[in-house]
Structure 1
Amino acid sequence: MAELLAAVNPSKKLISLGTGDPAVYPNFFGGGREVFTDAVKATVSSGLYDSYPPAFGLPPARRAVAEYLRSVVKGSGYLRGHPLHLRDSDVFLTVGATQALQTTLSVLGPGIPGGNILLPRPGFSLYDSACVLAGVDCRYYDLLPSRRWEADPSQIRELADSRTLAIVVINPNNPSGAAFSGHHLLQIAEIARDLNIPIIADEVYGGIVFGGGRFIPMACFASFAPIITIGSLSKRWMVPGWRFGWFAIYDPNDTLHEVRNAAEIMMNINPGPCSVIQAAVPAILSDANDEFHESVIALLETCMDTLYKGLQQIEVLECYSRPQGSMFMMVEVDTTRLLGIENDMDFAKELMKEESVLVLPGSVIGLKNWIRLFFGLPTDLLSEACDRMNSFCKRRMVKNAW
C-alpha cells in the first residue's frame, strides 16, 4: 500500500478504496457517535480509570461484551444444540481485533509441532503474518465467486490432517462482502467437530449486513465444536482508532482448557486496551445505540449500490455478486484487454499514476488479477472513483483488430 501511495498523481485528489477505515469521513455517518465520545469524556473526567486495568479487562467491560455477544446469538434465532454458555470470564479484552487474533494463534500454535491453520483465500493478510510469528503453517481453502464466495466443504476436509489446529472463518467476509448462510456455517462446524478442532470466528464486521444478508454468529454452533470469536468496536461502531477488541471462548465441554490457561498467561504479559475506553464500553454497547447502527447500515447499503452500479459500466471489471455484508467487494480485472497491464499489481499502480484511485491488489490477499474495493465513503466520491476507473480502462483498452 505504501508503494502504491507513492505513485499518486499529484494533479488529482486521492480517492482511497484500498483501506477499510470508516472513520476517515466521520460526518458522513451522521449523528449518534456523540454517545460514544460522551461516554469516553465521562470516564476521563471521573478520574477513576487512570490506573492499570486488570490483565483480562475491567469486569464491567467484560460483562458488557459478554452480554452483547449473548444477545447477538439469541437474536439470530439460529442457536443449534444445547443452550449457549458464555460467562463474563470467557471474554478477554484486547488492543483491537489484531491482538485478539495474534493471541489466539500464539496459544494454539504450540499445541502440535508443525501445526497448521486453515485460512480462507482470498482472506486477510494479517493472519498469514500472525501464523508466521506463531510458528504455524498456513493452508488455504478457496472462497468461490460462483458460490457467492462460500467454500467447498470437501476441500476444507481434504486440507486438514492430524496437525490441523483450527479453521478460520471470516463472516461477514472481508474481502468478498459475503454474509455466509446458516447452512454453510453448519457444514464448517460439522467439519470442525469431526476433526476435533476449534473454529476461529473473525466477526469484526458482525452485524454489518444489508441487501437481504443475515449475520449468523458462529457461536450458534458451539455445541458442535469450540468457537473462539474475535470482535472489536472498530467497524460497527466506526471507531477503529480506539483499538478496542476482544476474543471470547465458547467451549461448553471445556476441551480448550489448556488453551484458556495459555491465553491467560499471554494476557498477563501483553498490555490490554486503554482503561478509559474499557470503562466506556458498557455505554457504547448499549441497546440505546441501535438507531445509530441502523442508520449506518442503510447508508452503507447505498454506498455499496453506488459502487456496484458504477462498476457495471466498466467493461473489463466484473463483480460477480452484490455484497451483503462488511464494507468490501471483490472485482475481477480482465488484464488481457488492457494495454500495459499484466496483473492486478500493474493495474493498481497505473491507476494510481493516472487517476489517483487507490485499490488493493488481490494478489496481496490471495487472488491474482482481482482487486478489493472499500465502499465506506461518501457516494459522490464513489461515483467519481468509478468515473476515473472507467476513463482509465477505456484509455488502456486493447482495440479490436478489425
Structure 2
Amino acid sequence: MRTFKKSSKLDNVLYDVRGPVVTEAARMEEEGRKILKLNIGNPAPFGFSAPDEVIADLIQNAADCEGYSDSRGLFSARKAIMQYYQLKKLPNLHIQNIYTGNGVSELINLAMQALLDDGDEILIPAPDYPLWTACATLSGGHVVHYICDEQADWNPDIEDIKSKITDKTKAIVVINPNNPTGAVYEKDVLEQIVQVAREHELMIFCDEIYDRLIMDGYQHTSIASLAPDLFCVTFSGLSKSHMIAGFRIGWMVLSGDLSKGKDYMEGLNMLSNMRLCSNVPAQSIVQTALGGYQSVNEYIVPGGRIYEQREFIYNALKDIPGISVVKPKAAFYIFPKLDTEKFHITDDMQFAYDFLHQKQVLVVQGTGFNWIAPDHFRIVYLPHRRTLSQAMQKLSDFLETYHQ
C-alpha cells in the first residue's frame, strides 16, 4: 500500500514554540485539566482589545474589500507604511517596494524563499524567533546562529558575528526589539552590525514587530536608517501593537541601495504575485492604525497593564532561588535563566514537561528559540496579574524540590 510522508525538505526544520510540550498541554486539557498558559504572544485571549477606531474602520471598509488588491497591497496601506518609515528615517523609500502580508510570518517565508539557494549561509541571532530559522532552513539555507550576550542586556556579540561570517554568508537577521528576551539594542551596537554587513556586503533583514512596545523611555532605532548604502528589508505589523494578531496584517519595506537587489526584487514580486494578495480587509485598517491615536501607549507606562505585569513578573522571578533574569525593555516576554547545577538540568524541554505535568503551567524551553544551552525558558507575561501570581507561586514550589 502506498503511504504519503512529509517532504524531506521538512526533516531539518525545527519550530518548537508550538512543539511537543504544547501538544502535551492540549492533551491534558482534553482530559479536563486546566492549564495556565504562559507560552504564546497573542494578546486577544488575555483581555487586550483592539482600538475602537480600528474596529470601526474595518466594519466601514468591509463592503469595499471584496476583491483582490494589488499583490503588494492597497495603495492607502502602503502609503501609510511608507510615511511611518519616513519618520523613522529609512533611506530611499518607494511605495512599489513595500509589501503587505498575512502577518510578518508569511513575509519572512517569502523573503527567505526569494534569497536562499541550497547551502547559502544566513546569520540569525541566538536566541531567536524560531520562525526565522525554520523558514531559512526550509528555503535550503544553512543557518548560523550568532550569540546575544545576556551579560550585556542581550545585545548581539559583535565579535561572535564577525567570527561566523564566511564566503557563503548572504545576510544577517536582526530582531530588535527581541523576542524572546525583550531586549532593545543600543544604537552603537546596531552601527557596528551595519559596519560588519558593509565590509562583507551582506543584506540586512530587520524584524521590528515590537518597535511600538518599548518601555522605560528607551528609544528604538531602525537599523535600516543607519545603512543607506546597504540593501535592507524591514518587517513589522499590527498584530502586537494593536492587539489584533488574528487579523493577520504585516509588511516588509525595502530600503537603502536597491540597485544591489534588482534580481532579488524580481523574485519577491514573483512570489508575491503567486499568493495573489494579503488579507484586504485587514489592509484597509493600516492607515488608521498607524496614523491615529496609539492606544498601546497606555499599556507601556507606569500604571499601564503591560508595564505593571512586567514589573511584577521580573520581581517575582528575581525572588525565586536558582533563577536569574535580565529585565526586558520591550514587548511582553521575559527569558529567565535556570541554575542548571542546582537543579541538575541537562534537558530544558524535560524541565518544561515536568513543570507542565506537576503544576499545569505551560512555558517554552529556551532551546526552542535556538538558544545554545538548556538553561533558559520564556514566559509571556500577558495574562492578568492574578494568573501570573499563581504561576510564579507554582514555579517557586516546583523548583523547591526539582532535580532532573
Does TM, scored on the shorter chain, surpass 0.5?
yes
Shift of 1:374: 1.0
The answer to whether the 8 A contact 2:229-2:257 is kept is no
User: C-alpha distance in 2, partners of 1:214/1:256?
Assistant: 30
Q: For 1:150 and 1:156, how far apart are their aligned partners in 2?
A: 12
Matched, 1:392 2:398: yes
Q: Return the match for 2:139 from 129, 134, 138.
A: 134
1:171-190 aligned at under 5 Å gives the runs 171-190=176-195
Alignment of 1:114-263 (within 5 A): 114-252=119-257, 254-263=259-268
Q: Which residue of structure 1 lines up, in the alignment, with residue 11 of structure 2?
A: none
Question: What is the Cα deviation at residue 342 of structure 1?
Answer: 3.9
- Say if 2:66 is the partner of 1:63: no
Match of 2:97 in 1: 90
Task: Please tell me whether the aligned partners of residues 106 and 134 of structure 1 are also in contact (alpha carbons under 8 angstroms).
Answer: yes
Correspondence for 2:298 among 286, 295, 300: 295
Contact 2:124-2:145 within 8 A present in 1 as well: yes
Which of 307, 311, 316 is the equivalent residue of 2:317?
A: 311
Shift of 1:234: 0.9
Deviations 1:15-66 (A, max 9, x none): 211111112123xx46x6211111110111xx22201111111111111111
Which residue of structure 2 aligns with residue 16 of structure 1?
Answer: 37
> Is this contact kept in 2: 1:192–1:224, CA < 8 A?
no
Match of 1:278 among 270, 283, 292: 283
Q: In the TM superposition, what whole-angstrom CA distance separates every residue of 1:322-344 from its partner, at most 9, and x where no partner exists?
A: 110121111111233237x5421
SS at match of 1:176: coil
3-state SS of 2:73 partner: coil
Q: 1:52 aligns with which of 40, 65, 68?
A: 68
Residue of structure 2 in register with 1:40 after alignment: 58
SS of aligned partner of 1:255: helix
| Of 341-350 and 94-103, the range deviating more from structure 2 | 341-350
Contact 1:104 1:263 in 2 (8 A): yes
Q: Which residue number in structure 2 is paired with residue 267 of structure 1?
A: 272
Q: Secondary structure at the match of 2:116?
A: helix
Residue identity opposite 1:309 in structure 2: N
The one-letter code matched in structure 2 to 1:345 is: M
- CA–CA distance in structure 2, aligned partners of residues 316 and 355 of structure 1: 18
1:333-348 → structure 2 map (5 Å cutoff): 333-338=338-343, 341-348=345-352
C-alpha deviation, 1:251, in angstroms: 2.4
Higher mean displacement: 348-357 or 205-214: 205-214
* 1:289-317 alpha-carbon deviations (Å, 9 max, x no partner): 22x02112232121111100110121012
Measure how far apart 1:222 and its partner are. Answer: 2.4
Give the fraction of aligned pairs with identical amino acids, expressed as a percent: 24
1:397 is displaced (CA, Å) by: 6.3
Q: CA deviation at 1:12?
A: 6.0
Partner of 2:8: none
One-letter identity of the residue aligned with 2:165: A
TM-score calculated relative to the size of structure 1: 0.89
Give, in angstroms, the shift of residue 137 of structure 1.
0.6
**CA deviation digits over 1:357-392, x for unaligned, max 9?**
111001111222210111122112111111110111
Tell me the distance in 2 between the aligned counterparts of 1:256 and 1:153. 25
**Alignment of 1:382 onto 2:388:** yes
How far apart in 2 are the matches of 1:115 and 1:397?
Answer: 41
Note the C-alpha offset of 1:217: 1.0
Match of 2:13 in 1: none
Which residue number in structure 1 is paired with residue 106 of structure 2? 99
Checking the alignment, whether the CA contact within 8 Å between 1:39 and 1:284 is kept in structure 2 is: no
SS of the equivalent of 2:293 reads helix
Q: Output the CA distance in 1 between the equivalents of 2:86 and 2:187.
A: 18
CA distance in 2, matches of 1:207, 1:277: 19
Q: Deviations over 1:127-184 (max 9, x none)?
A: 1211122111101100110111112212211211222110000000001110000000
For the residues of structure 1 that align with 2:21 and 2:201, how far apart are their CA atoms?
Answer: 43
Q: Distance between the aligned counterparts of 2:229 and 2:336, measured in 1?
A: 35
- Alpha-carbon distance between aligned partners in 2 of 1:347 and 1:48, rounded to the nearest angstrom: 50
Q: Say whether the 8 Å CA contact 1:212–1:324 is kept in structure 2.
A: no
2:25 is the counterpart of 1:4: no
CA distance in 1, matches of 2:256, 2:19: 41
**Distance in 2 between residues matched to 1:107 and 1:397, nearest whole Å:** 46
List runs of 5+ in structure 2 lacking aligned partners.
Answer: 1-17
In the alignment, the residues of structure 1 paired with residue 132 and residue 282 of structure 2 have an alpha-carbon distance, to the nearest angstrom, of: 26
Q: CA RMSD in A?
A: 1.9
- 239-248 or 214-223, larger mean C-alpha shift: 214-223
Counterpart amino acid of residue 352 in structure 1: L
**Hey, what's the Cα distance between the residues in 2 that align with 1:243 and 1:2?**
21
SS in 2 for 1:141: strand
Label 1:139 to 1:284 Cα distance change in 2 as closer, same or farther (>3 A). same
Following the alignment from structure 2 to structure 1, what is the Cα–Cα distance between the partners of residues 331 and 219?
11
- In 2, the alpha carbon distance for the partners of 1:213 and 1:361 equals 28
Q: Secondary structure at the match of 1:140?
A: strand
Unaligned runs of 5+ in 1: none
